[in-house]
Structure 1
Amino acid sequence: MPAGWERLSFGAPLADGLSIQERLRQQGFGLLSAEQVYSMIGESAAASCAAAIPLWSHLPADRYLKDGGRYRSRRHGSFVQQLDVQGSESELIHVPQRAHWQPITYNALHGGMLRWFEPLADELVGLAFWQPLVCQLGHLFAEVRPVEQWFIEAHQFRIDARDGVGRPTPEGAHRDGVDFVAVILMGRNNIRGGETRVFELDGLRGVRFTLTQPCSVLLMDDQRINHESTPIMPLDTQGDSWRDTLVLTFRAEGFLEPVHPATSANSENKD
């Protein structure tokens, strides 16, 4: 984890011992170590996290990159979390596969078009850690901004630097158009770069750091924070070089959908 990660702030370091909820309330972002994540989801669920990591090696290419790059692979899934049935089997509902859509105001590069990605593998969603992780994050965010349900999108990403450079956020500093975002680092291999940067939405101050610990998490209030990650490059050009993340977005007012018919991004690419 970055030095002083529990006290990272846009100004003076935060007081010791602040909860992640209070860090989100005060400044709009905060970090969780892998140990904190494991404690949150429980020992038995945490034990299955290692089984998830190899699944990032089998992601289909993202065919919608407008810069023509080959550096991003991904899968996508959508869920609804009912917070009024805490602890119930029906708390998290995996909804039928749907297109990912963002307005141009949030994603100037890839916004305004329906993008269909391959679904998350049943093997991933069926692992013991999945429901506790997603649901516990949902409850955490609801403590900051009380809601009855979350509409959640899950993005499984691999950024590959085999062509010399890989861009985690080709759209630059941005918001996602949701309430909260969780960026979970699954792993880094043979790379430099991949620095995370978060900025005040209504100010000039920013913070930069690099997530290196697998299963550590960046949490953000998307209504208050812009964020981006810098490009990655290989340390050794003879070896595989990549950065794997799981990005979860939480929105109270339904999934982002086009108000008017959206462009179907190269409909022939829809599988």
Structure 2
Amino acid sequence: MSALWSPPYTSPNDCLMALQNQGFAVLDAAGVRAWLGVPAEALQALEPAWDDLPPDEYLKDGGRYRRRRHGCYRIDGEAVQPVPHRAHYQPVEYNALHGGMRRWFAPLTPALTAQPAWPRLLLGVARLASALRGPQPWFVEAHSFRIDTTGGIGRPTPEGAHRDGVDVVAVFLLRRHAIKGGESRVFEADGPRGQRFTLTEPWSALLLDDARMIHETTPIQPLREGELGWRDTLVLTVRGGGFLGDDEGV
């Protein structure tokens, strides 16, 4: 569980081609900065918000290892519009463990969303979705996660390998602290190919064409006995046509 598989990094100039050809792309931190046009210090200014995440009260496995916040946006062209706080919803076909219910997570804080880099992140994934699917209004959900080793193990994806039911998924790694595990795995939804690798560099990212790829992250464990470890990520999902659940009245 301690092995670290090197990510298959892509140049930011080849990011769209990688999504089109293989369904995913991985950017190192320099690639993320170049893609977004954001300096390192602006991204680092977002990080203190991860020390202010309340527990996820919806974990069906009874775990206390996940802390998170959630926010939603509508992006049309270059206009980023926050929408009123709403529940996160996934059908059971996309999340067999937690699907089918409205989950009301704590909202994102102004300490995060007022940072200059924040709208640049949202616009970056929306522009990528437009390049992949064609320009249109996009409905973006933002999830700030901390998975820790409370109880000895933390599960970044307790639902297992899954799709999110959106167009594009972006997973940004902010920090790994005193952990082993946390390997990213991506698989073709309709084919035999897959890859495994471990994101370790702060502000590296995995980008996915969610219609084509299934993904998961393996559990984490403490690197040293008696020391709490954690893994911080930002997950942005981009969907055309509305938020998941809108057409079901949720």
Q: TM-score, normalised by structure 2?
A: 0.93
Q: Indicate the SS of the match to 2:32.
A: helix
Asked whether the 8 Å contact 1:52–1:124 carries over to 2, the reply is: yes
Q: Which runs of structure 2 are paired with 1:223-242 in the superposition (5 Å)? A: 223-242=211-230
Q: CA deviation at 1:18?
A: 6.6
Return the match for 1:179 from 167, 171, 175: 167
* Bigger mean CA offset, 232-241 vs 190-199: 232-241
Distance 1:25 1:240, change over 3 A: same
User: 1:252 Cα deviation (Å)?
Assistant: 0.5
Once the two structures are superposed, the pairs formed by residues 18-167 of structure 1 within 5 Å of their partners are 19-44=14-39, 46-83=40-77, 86=78, 91-167=79-155
1:168 counterpart residue number: 156
Contact map agreement 1:62 1:73 (CA 8 A) in 2: yes
C-alpha distance in structure 1 between counterparts of 2:35 and 2:246, whole Å:
35
Which secondary structure state, in structure 2, belongs to the residue aligned with residue 163 of structure 1?
A: helix
Name stretches of at least 5 consecutive residues in structure 2 with no aligned partner: none
* Root mean square deviation of aligned Cα: 1.8
Query: Residue in 2 aligned with 1:5?
Result: 8
Change (3 A) 1:172 1:119: same
Q: CA deviation at 1:261?
A: 6.0
User: 1:238 offset after TM fit, Å?
Assistant: 2.4
Sort the Cα spacing of 1:17 and 1:82 in 2 relative to 1 into closer, same or farther, 3 A: closer
Percentage of identical aligned residues: 51
Given that 1:112 and 1:258 are in contact with CA atoms closer than 8 Å, whether structure 2 keeps it comes out as: no
Structure with bigger gyration radius: 1
Deviation at 1:258, TM superposition (A): 5.9
Task: State the shift of 1:48 in Å.
Answer: 1.9
Quickly say closer, same or farther: Cα 1:61–1:223, change in 2 above 3 A. same
Unaligned runs of 5+ in 1: 8-15, 263-271
Please tell me whether the aligned partners of residues 7 and 26 of structure 2 are also in contact (alpha carbons under 8 angstroms).
Answer: no
Shift of 1:40: 2.6
SS in 1 for 2:146: strand
TM-aligned CA deviation for residue 147 of structure 1: 2.6
2:17 partner letter: E
Aligned equivalent of 1:252? 240
Q: Spell out, residue by residue over 1:27-46, the C-alpha distance to the aligned partner (whole angstroms, 9 max, x if none).
A: 100011111111233355x4
Change (3 A) 1:17 1:149: closer
Q: Distance in 1 between matches of 2:239 and 2:118?
A: 18
Check the 8 A contact 1:76/1:117 in 2, yes or no: yes
Tell me the SS of whatever aligns to 2:124: helix
SS in 2 for 1:212: coil
Number of equivalent positions: 247
- Would you say the 8 A contact 1:179–1:252 is kept in 2? yes
Q: Which amino acid aligns with 1:6?
A: Y
Indicate yes or no: 2:201 matched with 1:198. no
Query: Per-residue CA shift, 1:67-126, capped at 9, x if unaligned?
Result: 00000000000001112xx3xxxx101111000000000001000000001000111011
What letter corresponds to residue 34 of structure 1 in structure 2? A
Residue of structure 2 in register with 1:10 after alignment: none
